[in-house]
């Protein structure tokens, strides 16, 4: 497992961020061309396919500077106000040491110990157990933690989660993830806009076809030829829009799943406590769903329970694989998954050590857990444990 602050990983993230921004402009041009095709069909539905393609290409050339300016403006707005957008979705609010002394002191100690600039600290009022880092530069970096996570985790576990998010900031993962959010947002906006146009166009086309059925046979034959070309062009436009959307989803694949493993390793390197990272992951597992949050926001989180279709677009490795990596490479110890409330209702005779976890309360881990067994033991892995 790579170490915290891996320079090749940081350089790769910066390169991929620039490539993704360049890809954003390409996707915008594809969407504009698709929109031009739909617009030309709406203006005149009696042309041939070649005419529509040529006219749409001409419209794209005319709209090129405007599309470029709109994409650049979107990037500028996202650069300066993306945190406000995220806070509007999640309800995150800035907190001070006076408001959250426990959490603030844990984060400050980690930053001071390694000379890392202190990011902003935000709290999201939610029973979900999750956290994420955001920001595109040093002045914007922020770590958002849910109130449910604060209640459920011990100090050592919270410190491990904060160390995980700090590693995302240090490794440049945050810039790449926020860039992907920007791309998904702009493509989703224009895609929805053009699909609304397509819906209206389909409604108008069906109305016009019903009225044309009452016309003469000769004019009906003429209109059918033109109408056939319009249908083909509409299909081409829809395919282009779907392709742009699909590519915006494939952008997620640029978010290498290894970034979470690297962040877990970075947290252990900071805290010298692999057991706390494992314990935190087990308590977060399947409990991190943020109601009302978009998929883009969930991709920023320490755990994303939304796996997508057949795990095709999953942006996080499974908690089991992350825990196994910590056990193998950091010498951590795992007591296994913790039961969910639904599991406890279905099986009331489950191990009592797991019952406190299912209530949503904040009791300390059972004494049988390896991270709460009295005096700290000697290190079992290369990163060791805290003395």
| Residues known to be catalytic | 165
Can you give the residue ranges of every domain in the chain? 7-91+174-212+223-254, 97-170+258-372
Give residue 364's pLDDT: 44
Place of tokens 């390197």: 269
Give residue 367's pLDDT: 37
Give residue 314's pLDDT: 67
Q: In angstroms, rounded to a whole number, what is the distance separating the alpha carbons of residues 170 and 114?
A: 11
> Can you give the pTM of this predicted structure?
0.71
Give residue 216's pLDDT: 43
In CATH terms, 97-170+258-372 corresponds, of 3.40.50.300, 3.30.1330.10, 3.30.2010.10, 3.40.50.10490, to 3.30.2010.10
Give residue 277's pLDDT: 96
Quote the tokens at residue 99.
């408001």
Residues 6+ apart with CB under 8 A from 156: 271, 273, 276, 279, 371, 386
Nearest alpha-carbon partner for 283 in 158, 153, 124, 151: 153
Give residue 147's pLDDT: 95
| Tens place of pLDDT per residue across the chain (387 aa) | 434 445 566 677 677 777 777 777 888 888 889 888 888 888 888 888 899 999 999 999 999 998 888 888 887 888 888 888 888 888 899 999 999 999 999 999 999 988 889 999 999 999 999 999 998 888 889 999 999 999 999 999 999 999 999 999 988 888 877 777 777 777 766 666 666 666 665 555 555 544 444 444 444 444 444 556 888 988 998 888 888 878 776 766 666 677 888 899 899 999 999 999 999 999 999 899 988 887 778 888 999 887 655 455 567 888 999 999 999 988 889 988 888 766 555 555 544 444 444 444 444 444 333 334 433 333 344 444 444
Quote the tokens at residue 351.
């191990």
């Amino acid at each position: 497992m790579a170490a915290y602050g891996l320079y090749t990983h940081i350089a790769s993230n910066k390169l991929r961020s620039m490539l993704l921004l360049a890809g954003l402009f390409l996707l915008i041009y594809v969407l504009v061309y698709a929109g031009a095709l739909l617009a030309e069909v709406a203006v005149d539905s009696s042309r041939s396919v070649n005419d529509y393609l040529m006219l749409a290409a001409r419209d794209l050339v005319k709209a090129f500077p405007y599309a470029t300016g709109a994409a650049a403006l979107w990037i500028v707005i996202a650069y300066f106000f993306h945190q406000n957008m995220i806070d509007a979705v999640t309800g995150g609010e800035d907190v001070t040491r006076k408001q959250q002394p426990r959490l603030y002191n844990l984060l400050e100690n980690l930053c001071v110990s390694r000379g890392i600039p202190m990011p902003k600290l935000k709290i999201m009022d939610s029973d979900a157990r999750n956290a994420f880092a955001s920001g595109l530069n040093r002045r914007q970096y922020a770590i958002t933690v849910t109130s449910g996570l604060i209640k459920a985790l011990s100090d050592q576990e919270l410190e491990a989660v904060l160390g995980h998010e700090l590693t995302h900031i240090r490794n440049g993962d945050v810039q790449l993830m926020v860039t992907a959010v920007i791309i998904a947002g702009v493509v989703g906006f224009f895609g929805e806009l053009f699909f609304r146009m397509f819906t209206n166009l389909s409604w108008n086309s069906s109305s016009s076809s019903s009225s044309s059925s009452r016309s003469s046979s000769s004019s009906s034959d003429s209109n059918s030829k033109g109408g056939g070309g319009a249908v083909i062009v509409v299909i081409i436009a829809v395919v282009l829009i779907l392709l742009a959307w699909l590519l915006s989803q494939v952008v997620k694949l640029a978010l290498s799943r290894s970034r979470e493993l690297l962040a877990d390793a970075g947290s252990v390197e900071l805290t010298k406590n692999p057991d706390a990272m494992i314990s935190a992951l087990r308590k977060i597992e399947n409990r991190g769903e943020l109601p009302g949050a978009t998929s883009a926001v969930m991709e920023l989180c320490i755990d994303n329970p939304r796996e997508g279709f057949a795990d095709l677009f999953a942006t996080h490795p499974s908690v089991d694989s992350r825990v196994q990596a910590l056990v193998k490479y950091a010498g951590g110890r795992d007591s296994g998954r913790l039961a969910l409330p639904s599991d406890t209702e279905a099986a009331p005779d489950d191990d009592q050590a797991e019952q406190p976890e299912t209530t949503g309360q904040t009791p300390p881990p059972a004494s049988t857990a390896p991270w709460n067994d009295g005096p700290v033991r000697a290190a079992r892995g290369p990163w060791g444990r805290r003395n």
